[in-house]
Structure 1
Amino acid sequence: MNKPKSDRPMAAAVKYDKEAREAPHIVASGTGKVAERIVEIATQSNVPVVEDAALVSALLALEVGDEIPVELYEAVAKVLTFVYRLDSSRRP
């Protein structure tokens, strides 16, 4: 979750299924209370939360269900790589 100059929280959730061989897509996004709820659900579900104001701003321009555009692949790939490494380090 990120807070822009207006101090309004923003959040976006991305899903990537390696087996489907499709681009990652937006599964949730919003500002204010919606953003807070997205982060709350992620935290309760042990889903890592990564803060990146520029990326979340770009993701908020998309609709839920949209695939990540090519222009954002590199930024999203960095986040996914971090999450996968974190996840693998948690396994026994």
Structure 2
Amino acid sequence: MNKAVALKYKAYEENAPKVLAKGKGELARKIIEKAKLYDVPLFQNETLADMLLNVEVGEEIPPKMYKAVVDVFIWLYKLEEKAQLSE
């Protein structure tokens, strides 16, 4: 079954990343489609997705998930850095 969780984080405005959208099945497919439409990078980690599905939309992720989510943001930063170098 497809699963998707969209996160948002404004470093100087929020304490921690928040769940922007989440879903399974058809809803997950729509979240993924929307991400692709706007060129939002997709990070796949089923265990993390399962944990994040337990966080309500609009809520900050709990501290116990910080390390796992930091790894996602590091991946994203490196991806963006690599894209800038190839321009």
TM-score strictly above 0.5: yes
Please state if 1:10 is matched with 2:3. Answer: yes
Q: Secondary structure at the match of 1:71?
A: helix
Q: Secondary structure at the match of 2:15?
A: coil
- Aligned runs of 1:1-92 on 2, under 5 Å? 8-91=1-84, 92=87
- Runs of 5+ in structure 2 lacking a partner? none
Extract structure 1 runs of 4+ deviating beyond 6 A.
none
Q: What is the Cα deviation at residue 21 of structure 1? A: 4.3
Secondary structure, counterpart of 1:72 in structure 2: helix
Alpha-carbon RMSD across the aligned residues, in angstroms, is: 1.0
Number of matched pairs: 85
